[in-house]
Amino acid sequence: MKEIIQSRAFSLQTPSSDELDGIVAKIVHRCAGSLAAKAFGSMLSTRTTVHEWMDILAKSNICNDRTGILPVLKLSYDDLPSHMKQCFAFCAIFPKDYEIDVEHLIHLWMALDFVPLEEEDHPETAGEEIFRQVTWRSFFQEVKQSPPLNYEKKDGMLCNTTTCKIHDLMHDIALSVMGNDCLTVTDKINDKKSISDPTRHFLSCRVGTQLDGFMKKQPSTLQTLFCTDVDFLSHLSEYNSVRALHLPLNTRHQVKSRHLQSQHLRYLNLSGNNVITELPGEISMLYNLQTLDVSFCRGLRQLPKQMKYMTCLRHLYTHGCTSLTHMPPDIGQVASLQTLTYFVVGTSFNCSTVAELQNLNIGGQLVLDGLQNVDESQAKAASLGNKHKLTHLSLKWNSDANEVQDCHMKVLDGLKPHGGLHMLRVDSYKGSSLPSWMIDLSLLKHLTELHLIDCSECEVFPQFCHLKALQVLYLEKLDKLRSLCSDVTLMIFPALKELTLHDLESMERWVSGEGNDEVTFPIVEEISIENCPKLTSLPDAPKLKVINVNEGKAQLSLLAIVKATYTCLLSKLELSVGDKEATLELDPENHESPLTELSLGGCNFLFLSSPSQPTIGFWKSFGKLVNLEIKNCSGLMYWPEEVFHSLVSLKNLEIKSCNKLIGPAQVNGEPRPTADQVLPHLSIILIHNCGSLVELFSLPPSLRSIYIINCNKLERIWGKEDQFGTPCDGYASSSSVVEQSSAQANHPPPNLEFLKISFCGDFAALQNLPPSLKSLIIFECHELCSVSGQLGALESLAIHGCSKLRSLDSLGDLPSLECLSIERCKRLASLPGGGHGSYSALRKATVKYCPAIDMKPLYKLDQQRLDRLEVRHLSHAHSSDPHEGAKLREPKSWKYAIPRCQDWAIQRHRNP
């Protein structure tokens, strides 16, 4: 603790006297942990005299109060300048352990006037300094750079996202300071008082009538409205004072002009809303708006035409708006614009060209799409070379366009960026060579990521190994690329960490030239190779951790990968081989593999109907394997129990789309006796889309979760007769299989907590479920007739689309049940609990389209308890399923058919 305080306290100074150093020992006793030590040390770093240090020490002893907040931390907050107090206290709006996007947090501070400015200051720079100072004092923690998901996709975010969290103790300080001025409502909150008082900053992740009433009572002082899962558009026009607004992702209505009446609005976030097709033109009249985020609004076709009048707009997030066809005219007149993440060049007369970028000092990410609509003069006029704050640049042509190759090269040459670029992506470029600024590499010396995609006509490429700062290299559909480097003595990629090679039909060597293939990747950690049919070897990569190989023929030998000395750190291997005739090389030796994750696609040679010793010997290498995925393997016909005996560390098993998998191995056409339980540490098993599967293998007691999806022939999970009593009428199973199941006599996992079965058509009975079960989900099992077990620990029960299920009485009282969802079970006559359940723990209840069900157990609950349910959908309990259509003898059901008839008539009128 003393070392932490000293490192912070003396980071900006050296102790001016031994007395200062001596005070540290007294301070240590006031700190209850490293957080307090960091906060205390940061405070002392700006004090230089003994008197100031003693004053801080004295205050730390008297500032305690009834909140229980650690005095040192409260003192650290009191020591902040007033504007920093405001900025930090606002963060009480986020729930505890919430991952905060730092960039958007600064924009929220700006919207609420929390960032003081001096003349000619940029608010973003001032906000970043506030965040840095408050983080230094330990109010923010876990500050990290998160790479964008699926960066190779052509519509996503290119830049890393900076996020942070707030320690729970610091969050308590923010809450105590804000009081009623800030309110956060989550699903776990049950207290009505918490949403009864007016507030200034409001965030909600909750749905319900209580919240609807709260929104109606909010006064005109509400400034921040941040809701992620609530439809409140009907009240939105009443909040004229709102400055920061985040509309919910699942808003079911278009955003209309009447919803956006506040002229004070400075921050508007509509991101991720797939319903929005266009924004109201009145958004252009939000003259104070600073931030507009419509990222990943995939249905958005156009932006308001008059955006040129939004003179205060500084940040426009449009990445992921894949339906955008053009940018509004004169976008270059928005002189304050600092961020424009996606710019698509249209073909109409009334839209902006890339020349509009000339006078915009944008930074961060820029994606330029539709470059087939750009000529050389417009490209040069964009002046990308003058945009020194631009760090990530993506240049994309339409891959279907058939322009002259010279035109592509002239446009790319005209879009020459500045020399400080971090990431460059060129997509669907059809020039035969690259411009000089990409070949001589002098402009790319700071480049850390390079993506070249679908440059099918290009014959000349950069010398990739000369990019000394390059960390990520992604190459896809470069039809004429034959190697990464020219023939020199030794090629080293000193900084490369991720290498992706996809659809490189001509690449056959790492280095061009005969007899020299010495290329090394000293720190590369991930390599992905897909459809590179001529590449037969991996390079030297001593730090390699992840390999992904997807090929038609088994060119890269699996055994070579497992045995290679340079893969001693390898932890994950994804191997997909489509060749059904491929064989595995014989290998009498066992090589212990460090792999913990293995994903196999195809790879029939690893699962033979008559396993040979070499194959089993190969599996003995994987004693450290924790996760195993097998998919699209037609060679897997029976559970490979001999293989399973070798996987002593396996915890997660996934079997997907193995259509010939039946179950336990057979002898003379009959299931052979099941061996002892295997996979002693197995925790999760997922089986998806295995259409021939009848029965699982002998499951170990360690199992906690089972997912079985779309296995239409499944008859049982555990092979024991007393678990599947007498089948219901109309259900006939194979007598020979049933007799054998008695002989197997495997006990169910005693500690199973989660069971999900869905789209398993022949599954008829689920009996004697283990009492440890906490969650049971059954979807679309149309032959299921009975479910039984004393499930005293069950917390969540969902049964949908089980048309032959008649009763749930045999499940017991379910005293722990919190979430109940029963839908489309038309023969079900009773709720679980046999009419005796008290539902004392119930929080959410949904019963729909179960016309025969008895709802009395729920209705017997007193009205107050019913009102306390967070979710309650019971009004359609006895209704017929509208998706089944009208029935001639049931006139009440005709109403469900009328809309469809109308739709059909309209469609026929439009397309006669």
How far is Cα 316 from Cα 279, in angstroms, rounded to an integer? 14
Provide the β-strand partners of residue 822.
799, 847
pLDDT at 864: 67
Cα of first residue to Cα of last residue in the chain, in angstroms, is 81
372: confidence class by pLDDT, cuts 50, 70, 90? very high
With contact defined as beta carbons under 8 Å apart, do 471 and 447 qualify?
no
How far is Cα 634 from Cα 631, in angstroms, rounded to an integer? 9
By mean pLDDT, which of 12-21, 760-769, 785-794 is the weakest?
A: 12-21
With contact defined as beta carbons under 8 Å apart, do 662 and 692 qualify?
yes
What Cα–Cα distance (Å) separates residue 362 from each residue in 192, 341, 355, 384, 445? 46, 9, 14, 10, 22
Per DSSP (E only), the strands in 244-319 are: 244-246, 267-269, 291-293, 315-317
φ/ψ (deg, to 5) at 234: -65, -25
CA angle, 511 as apex, 505 and 516 as ends, to 5°?
130
CA angle, 725 as apex, 719 and 727 as ends, to 5°?
100
CA 412 to chain CA mean position, Å? 34
pLDDT over threshold 90, residue 386: yes
State which of 134-138, 332-336, 641-645 shows the largest mean pLDDT: 332-336
pLDDT at 537: 78
| Strands 786-787 and 765-766, sheet pairing | parallel
Sequence-distant (≥ 6) Cβ neighbours of residue 79 within 8 angstroms = 43, 56
731: confidence class by pLDDT, cuts 50, 70, 90? very low
- Of 277, 280, 260, 364, nearest to 317 by C-alpha is 364
How far is Cα 658 from Cα 56, in angstroms, rounded to an integer? 68
Tell me if residue 19 falls in helix, strand or coil: helix
209: confidence class by pLDDT, cuts 50, 70, 90? very low
pLDDT at 59: 59
| Residue-averaged pLDDT of the chain | 79
- Of 613, 596, 606, nearest to 576 by C-alpha is 606
- The tens digit of pLDDT for each residue in 774-826 reads 999 999 998 898 888 888 899 999 999 998 999 888 888 888 999 999 999 99
How far is Cα 848 from Cα 448, in angstroms, rounded to an integer? 54
The Cα diameter of the chain in Å comes to: 97
pLDDT over threshold 50, residue 611: no
Residue at 438: amino acid letter: M
